[in-house]
Amino acid sequence: MPPVSFLKLAPLVLVLSLAGCAGNGTDTGFRLPPRLDAEPLGGVKRSLTYSGDWVGGAPTDGSAEASINLACRRGVEMVVDLRRAPDGGGLVESAARGAGLAFVAVDPSGDECAAGETPASVEDHGVLVADGALEEVRRLLNTPGRPRVLMLDDDGTLAAVMYGVYLAEDVGLDEGAVVDALRATGLSGTELRAILREARRQVEASSGSN
């Protein structure tokens, strides 16, 4: 067999080496896990997003329709309204339905109880997590094959807190990561941990009664 020049073999060696790296050294299916991040969404106040879901405060600057249309373009399929005093004209509901989105209103007041062990500080931020409302939100979010949601409240606090409870209790997201993200609501880490402790008590009480 005649000798083969190394220069002629070099391209073949390089191709085989690259193929080996692609097959063994790299996980082409690797994806970073989703996390709760603060990202703008039109006029939505204090908006946060996680794995296609969005939470925040309903726009009050006249941009409700534009913001909901933007959410629709980003993959949202349902609007969940947690506001204590929905607008009289039903702007959010009409904008949601006009964009072809499902709409659900959840009364946030129900059997209200102050969330946290420092009620004055927490109540100053308007965070009152009702057992019934939290249970309804968690049930909706845990529905198999559920649509991606935009959860709106009055100022971007309650929706974020309830969604944070869902992430910590049902998804299993690290509580520290949830607390860090929820600082965008203006609450301190101490307040947020108190709220999550109270919410966990509600979750455990609800599970014990079923």
With 80 as the cut, is the pLDDT of residue 3 above it? no
* pLDDT digit string, tens, across residues 106-164: 988 754 433 443 333 334 344 667 788 888 999 999 999 999 999 999 999 999 999 99
In a domain, 169, yes or no: yes
* pLDDT digit string, tens, across residues 32-81: 568 899 999 999 999 999 999 999 999 988 899 999 999 999 999 999 99
In a domain, 24, yes or no: no
What is the structure's pLDDT at 10? 54
What is the structure's pLDDT at 110? 59
- Among 203, 163, 202, 165, residue whose Cα is nearest residue 57: 163
In a domain, 10, yes or no: no
Task: Please count the structural domains in the chain.
Answer: 1
In a domain, 164, yes or no: yes
pTM higher than 0.85, yes or no? Answer: no
Q: Identify the CATH number of the domain in which residue 189 sits.
A: 3.90.190.10
DSSP 26-93: --TT--PPP--EE---TT-EEEEEETTEEEEEPP-SS-HHHHHHHHHHTT--EEEE--SS--TT-HHH
Contacts of 141 (CB under 8 A, 6+ apart): 149, 163, 166, 170
Give CA separation, 84 vs 37, 77, 129, 157, 181, in Å. 25, 22, 12, 12, 24
Mean pLDDT: which of 75-79, 85-89, 162-166, 185-189 is highest?
A: 75-79
Domain hosting 92: range is 37-209
In a domain, 85, yes or no: yes
Mean pLDDT: which of 25-29, 93-97, 123-127, 182-186 is highest?
A: 93-97
C-alpha 152/C-alpha 160 separation (Å) is 9
C-alpha 49/C-alpha 149 separation (Å) is 10
Going by pLDDT thresholds of 50, 70 and 90, the confidence category of residue 204 is confident
Q: What is the mean pLDDT of residues 2-25?
A: 48
In a domain, 27, yes or no: no
Q: What does the CA dihedral 183, 184, 185, 190 come to, rounded to 10 degrees?
A: 10
In a domain, 4, yes or no: no
